[in-house]
């Protein structure tokens, strides 16, 4: 049974709510990169990219290390396990909920048709 940590889900979903940050994760999934390389790739100032990387680092999705004057980024320890489980459970509930509603609608439609038939008689 996965135990959800609300604060962790808050910070990881928050980190994922930005297209640039998702792009950085996709990039680091291919190869490590320096902040400068990422800033160039995403057409952004160094300061702007550092902010995004900071948010990803806080969420455990990226780790950075400074060698000389270059700060290199790589994927962090978090594999988004809990987030995936949360989404899967939600979708399961969503399906069940709409199945229930479908059944109610079906029943109402059947009842309506049967009433119509009775009224026609």
Element (H, E) at 10: helix 6-16
Residue whose C-alpha is closest to residue 54's, from 76, 79, 27, 69: 76
Q: At what angle do helices 46-58 and 19-30 cross, to 10 degrees?
A: 80
Q: Can residue 44 be called a binding residue for a second copy (CB under 8 A)?
A: no
Q: Can residue 54 be called a binding residue for a second copy (CB under 8 A)?
A: no
Q: Can residue 26 be called a binding residue for a second copy (CB under 8 A)?
A: yes
Q: Which is nearer to a second copy, 50 or 75 (CB)?
A: 75
Q: Can residue 29 be called a binding residue for a second copy (CB under 8 A)?
A: yes
CA distances from 94 to 66, 76, 104 (A): 45, 31, 15
Q: Can residue 25 be called a binding residue for a second copy (CB under 8 A)?
A: yes
Q: Can residue 80 be called a binding residue for a second copy (CB under 8 A)?
A: yes
- Alpha-carbon distance of 94 to 68, in angstroms, equals 51
Q: Which stretch binds a second copy (CB under 8 A): 16-24, 39-47, 65-73, 105-113?
A: 16-24
Q: Can residue 75 be called a binding residue for a second copy (CB under 8 A)?
A: yes
Q: Which stretch binds a second copy (CB under 8 A): 35-43, 46-54, 94-102, 108-116?
A: 94-102
């Amino acid at each position: 049974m996965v135990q959800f940590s609300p604060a962790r889900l808050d910070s990881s979903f928050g980190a994922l709510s930005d297209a640039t940050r998702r792009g950085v994760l996709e990039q680091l999934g291919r190869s490590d990169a320096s902040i400068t390389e990422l800033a160039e790739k995403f057409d952004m100032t160094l300061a702007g990219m550092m902010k995004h990387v900071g948010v990803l680092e806080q969420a455990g999705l990226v780790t950075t290390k400074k060698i000389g004057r270059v700060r290199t980024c790589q994927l962090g320890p978090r594999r988004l396990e809990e987030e995936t489980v949360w989404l899967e459970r939600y979708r399961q509930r969503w399906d069940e909920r709409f199945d229930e509603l479908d059944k109610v609608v079906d029943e109402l439609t059947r009842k309506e048709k049967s009433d119509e038939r009775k009224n026609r008689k």
